Amino acid sequence: MTSDLDRNIQYLKGVGEKKAALFARLKVFTVGDLLSFYPRDYEDWNTVLSIEEAPLEENVCISAILLSPFTVRRTRSGMLLYTTVVSDGKNFLSLTFFNNKYVKDALKDGEEYLFYGKIRLDQEGNREMTSPAYAKVSEGGFYHPVYPQTEGLNSKAVAKAVRSALDLCGDALQETLPPGQIEKYRLLPLKQAVEQIHFPRSDGEIAAARRRLIYEELLTLQLGLLSSGRNEREKTRFTLKEDYSDEFAALLPFRLTGAQQRAVRECVADLGSGRSMRRLLQGDVGSGKTAVAASLIYTCAKNGYQCALMAPTEVLAQQHYQSLSAMFRETGLRIGLLTGSLTPKQKREIKAQAAEGELDLLIGTHALLTGDVQFKNLALAVTDEQHRFGVMQRAKLREKGDSPHILVMSATPIPRTLSLIIYGDLDLSVLDEKPAGRKEIKTYTVPTVYHERMYAFLRKEAARGRQCYIVCPAVEEGDAPDSERTAAEDYAKLLSGTVFRDLRTDILHGKMRPKQKDEAMRRFKDGETDILICTVVIEVGVDVPNATVMVIENAEFFGLSQLHQLRGRVGRGAEQSYCILVSDAKNEKAARRLAVMCETNDGFRIAEEDLKMRGPGDFFGNRQSGLPMLKLADLMTDGRILYAARDEAQRILAEDPSLTKPENRTLREKVAALFADIS
């Protein structure tokens, strides 16, 4: 980067220290930051309409002459109104400005100007425009950029600063793409693209600039995800000598589905290839990912190697420990559990066993990533609910061994375009079958007036020996800004003392101590609880086949993928299961989300709908940890560019893995800058 682009924005002409502080709120600190602070929209001053043909209640641009000086009057509230009349030669239009003392000096009667705003009809049916933007005719005829703003810094001020930045260092914008790619994809040069994205003269210029910059953004992102060894299938000393998959399958009290058997074969082929496996195992809730992972763990352990399994929460880590301990009880496999709630002495003992090779499998939370956790011969690292971990966390786990094999599992179905961004360095195995005997979960949306009927249904299920969840979006009153959200603790007290007073109710939420959470979950799993009133802490990993009803209160507060995850906590046995979404929401988007849930149990269709509704930045509730934000690219519409960028990134890295060739050095700098703040 050049010194001009790195210059603090306060030294840019027309900015200064005070405006620089305002720009800092928008995360714009340097001239380079400003040039990549792209408009979020544009005002079309190119299409000039007559007053008569301009549609009402839409932003339009008209050209008109000021017919008279401004009149000024004060309202009862003390506001000053500046009014005048303009004409385009055929029709008249009233203009009103509020508390704008500068406008009467800026606009001269008898002169022609461009006015941009919405035309409305006043009480007498005459056309008027309130507080329009304006410019001399000689300054119009193009698109005005509209930027993200903050109080004290409007779009006009941002545009003025951008113009100064382009005048200062437009020539310093070094071309980042190799000439061959610019020619191959018919892309604009960088300088031209940056100028056009900020100050276009037509729709065509906007499209061309966006296409160039989106391609560069996605190429840089893909290079970052695929480089630094993440795309390399390194040679590894952990090569399977024998496949024990059939022996493991014989241990199970059920038969693996065809999809599970296929996934095991794909992984075993990787494990025996002599190069490190990098594979994503993606399956809907209840599709049997854990059994696939267990098969691979068994085979690796029987070959004399160690394995690690990392889960995002202690509840899920505990469940994996319990289920895998039971699964491997007669095999002699040595299993350890490492979580933050262990005592220092327990942690030391577990870590020592892993380092000495006395454990075949170590299960844990992110505690596995700490520097003092070492393995003697870690051959396979498995991460569950991978979307909860960042890319760099995955890399840290990989560093625990000598090029170990990596299997990442996700029960969150992810649209293909988003998969390429998050898991671009991984091969894919998909579990698209559910175990035999699983029935579709019947899903209904009901208003709160149905509570009594719903409670009666839950009592009926409890009488049949079944168990139920009631999920609330808050722990106690005051935890959420919206008082309508049902509070779990207060709700539990109410229900346990009234409609369910003769049933066994319990509560589980994230604010409880780990031992309390584990004990509440144990009671529910062991059938000691009829109804568990909880928060989304049970979203991941809880497996209770006897639970047949999932009630979600205030369902409109949850995203589609989260609703689907919660629903997946039931339907894990042979009995018919139900999901009841309780909501009085009138919001159209919320209603659509709930309707989709009632229409389908297909997690991949739900994921596509969720991405459409919420966008990639919000797809996981919180932004995907370990990934930079995209400024321009839209994964729903820019899929073709993404695929092209991925192909080019793979080709570039195949020829120049470290991006040290002269034509790739600027790209390397872009990658470093993009991932600089990712942890």
Domain ranges of the chain: 47-141, 176-227+637-679, 245-431, 442-600
Give residues with Cβ within 8 angstroms of 15, minimum separation 6: 9, 23, 161, 164
Asked if residue 296 lies in contact with residue 523, where contact means CB atoms within 8 angstroms, the answer is no
What span, in angstroms and rounded, lies between the C-alpha atoms of 79 and 524? Answer: 64
Residue among 241, 293, 271, 260 at smallest CA distance from 405: 271
* Three-class DSSP category at 59: strand
Q: Is 100 left (phi over 0), alpha (psi -120 to 50) or beta?
A: beta
Helix H segments across 485-575? 488-497, 514-525, 560-567
Asked if residue 351 lies in contact with residue 336, where contact means CB atoms within 8 angstroms, the answer is no
By CB atoms closer than 10 A (0-12, 13-18, 19+), residue 58 is exposed
User: At 337, which helix (H) or strand (E)?
Assistant: strand 335-338
| Four-point Cα dihedral 152, 156, 160, 163, nearest 10 | 130
Give residues with Cβ within 8 angstroms of 358, minimum separation 6: 334, 352
What span, in angstroms and rounded, lies between the C-alpha atoms of 474 and 485? Answer: 6
What span, in angstroms and rounded, lies between the C-alpha atoms of 132 and 147? Answer: 17
Q: Which residues pair with 30 in a beta bridge?
A: 8
What span, in angstroms and rounded, lies between the C-alpha atoms of 245 and 592? Answer: 44
Q: What is the DSSP string of 5-48?
A: HHSBGGGSTTTHHHHHHHHHHTT--BHHHHHT---SEEEE-SSE
pLDDT of residue 421: 63
Global model pTM greater than 0.85 = no
CATH topology of domain 47-141: OB fold (Dihydrolipoamide Acetyltransferase, E2P) (2.40.50)
Asked if residue 487 lies in contact with residue 477, where contact means CB atoms within 8 angstroms, the answer is yes
| Three-state secondary structure of 352-372 | HHHHCCCCCEEEECHHHHCCC
Q: What is the CATH number of domain 245-431?
A: 3.40.50.300
User: At 330, which helix (H) or strand (E)?
Assistant: none
What span, in angstroms and rounded, lies between the C-alpha atoms of 424 and 284? Answer: 20
Give the up-direction half-sphere exposure of residue 609: CA atoms within 13 A in the CB hemisphere. Answer: 23
576-609 residue pLDDT tens: 999 999 999 888 888 888 999 999 988 877 877 8
By CB atoms closer than 10 A (0-12, 13-18, 19+), residue 655 is exposed
End-to-end CA distance of the chain: 23
* Three-class DSSP category at 334: coil
Query: Which one of 3.40.50.300, 3.50.50.60, 3.90.550.10, 1.10.3720.10 gives the CATH number of domain 442-600?
Result: 3.40.50.300
Q: Which residues pair with 364 in a beta bridge?
A: 310, 338
The reply to whether domains 245-431 and 442-600 share a CATH topology is yes
459, 486, 490, 510 from 478: Cα distances, Å: 30, 10, 11, 15
Length of the chain: 679
What span, in angstroms and rounded, lies between the C-alpha atoms of 220 and 218? Answer: 5
Q: Which residues pair with 306 in a beta bridge?
A: 378
- Single-letter code of the amino acid located at 284: D
Residue ranges of the chain with per-residue pLDDT less than 70: 1-3, 140-141, 228-233, 385-398, 401, 412-425, 474-486, 539-542, 614-628, 635-636, 677-679
What span, in angstroms and rounded, lies between the C-alpha atoms of 224 and 130? Answer: 48
Asked if residue 458 lies in contact with residue 530, where contact means CB atoms within 8 angstroms, the answer is no
What span, in angstroms and rounded, lies between the C-alpha atoms of 570 and 467? Answer: 9
Asked if residue 407 lies in contact with residue 261, where contact means CB atoms within 8 angstroms, the answer is no
What span, in angstroms and rounded, lies between the C-alpha atoms of 603 and 572? Answer: 15
Give residues with Cβ within 8 angstroms of 138, minimum separation 6: none
By CB atoms closer than 10 A (0-12, 13-18, 19+), residue 76 is exposed
- Single-letter code of the amino acid located at 607: A
Tokens of 531: 């109804």
Backbone angles phi, psi at 470, to 5 degrees: -125, 115
